[in-house]
Chains A and B, each alone.
Chain A
Amino acid sequence: MTEPLDPDAAQAAIEYCYAQGWSDGLPLVPASQPLVDRFLAATGKDPEEVIGELEQVGRNCTVYLAAVNAAMAGCLPEYFPVVLAAFDALMRERAARGGGWQSTSGPAPMIVVNGPVRHELGFNAQGGAFGPGFRPNATIPRAIGLIVRNAFGIRPHVLEQATQGLPGRWSICLAENEEESPWPPFAEDGGQPAGASAVSATLLRTCEFVDNRHTPDPEHVLNDIADTISRTGSLIFRDTSAGVVFCPEHAQMLATAGFTKQDVQAWLIEHCGRTGADLRRAGKNGLRGIARFADADTSGDGTFTRILPTPRHVPIVVAGARNAAISMVVRIFGEWSGIATEVTK
Chain B
Amino acid sequence: MPNAILDPTGATTATATAKPQAPRAPRRADLTGARIGLLVNTKQNAAPFLDEIGRLLIAQHGATKVVNRTKVNFAAPAPDELVKEMTAECDVIITGIGDCGSCSASAVADGIAFESAGLPAAAICSDAFRVTADAMAELRGAPGYRYATTPHPVAVLTPEQVTERAAQVLGDVIALVTEQE
**Chain A positions near chain B (C-beta within 8 angstroms):** 9, 13, 16-17, 20, 22, 30-34, 36, 55-59, 61-62, 65, 68-69, 71-72, 98-100, 102-104, 146, 150-151, 153, 157-162, 289, 291, 293
Contacts and interface: CB of A to CB of B under 8 A. Distances in A.
Contacts of A65: 8-10
Contacts of A72: 8
Interface residues of B, number: 32
Given A151-B9, A158-B135, 7 more contacts: A20-B7, A58-B19, A68-B8, A69-B8, A102-B75, A151-B8, A159-B105
Interface in B38-86: 42, 44, 73-77
B4 A153 contact: no
Given A98-B76, A99-B103, A102-B101, A157 B131 contact: yes
Interface centre among A16, A31, A72, A291 (most CB of B within 10 A): A31
| Among all A-B residue pairs, the 8 with the closest Cβ atoms | A99-B102, A99-B75, A161-B101, A32-B3, A102-B101, A150-B8, A102-B102, A31-B6
Contact of A31 (B5, B100, B139): B5
B173 interface: no
Contact of A99 (B2, B14, B76, B129): B76
Contacts of B77: 56
Contacts of A289: 42
5 contacts: A13-B5, A56-B136, A99-B101, A158-B131, A161-B101
A61 B19 CA distance: 18
B5 A17 contact: yes
B7 A161 contact: no
B135 A68 contact: no
Interface centre among B6, B135, B136 (most CB of A within 10 A): B6
Given A32-B4, A56-B109, A103 B10 contact: no
B7 A68 contact: yes
Given A32-B6, A150-B8, A151-B9, A161 B100 contact: yes
Contacts of B19: 58
A81 B103 CA distance: 34
Contacts of A20: 7
Interface of B: 2-10, 14, 19, 42, 44, 73-77, 100-106, 109, 129, 131-132, 135-136, 139
A72 to B, nearest CB: 6
Given A104-B100, A158-B131, A161-B101, A59 B4 contact: no
Contacts of A59: 10, 14
Nearest to A64: B10
A33 B19 CA distance: 29
A33 B14 contact: no
The B interface is mostly helix, strand or loop, or mixed, namely loop
Contact of B129 (A30, A31, A150, A161): A161
B73 A98 contact: yes
A160 B106 contact: no
A102 B105 contact: yes
A69 B4 CA distance: 15
Given A34-B3, A98-B76, A22 B9 contact: yes
Nearest to B109: A56
Contacts of A69: 8
Contacts of B5: 13, 16-17, 30-32
A41 B74 CA distance: 41
A293 B106 CA distance: 24
B102 A33 contact: no
B8 A146 contact: yes
A56 B131 contact: no
Contacts of A158: 131-132, 135
Contact of B135 (A22, A55, A104, A159): A159
A162 B128 CA distance: 12
B44 A291 contact: yes
A289 B43 CA distance: 12
Contacts of B129: 161
A162 B101 contact: yes
A309 B31 CA distance: 48
B101 A160 contact: yes
Interface centre among B8, B19, B44, B136 (most CB of A within 10 A): B8
A97 to B, nearest CB: 9
A159 B108 CA distance: 13
Contacts of B10: 59, 61-62, 65, 150-151
Contacts of A22: 7-9
A31 B3 CA distance: 9
Contacts of A17: 5
Contacts of A153: 9
Interface centre among B3, B9, B73, B100 (most CB of A within 10 A): B9
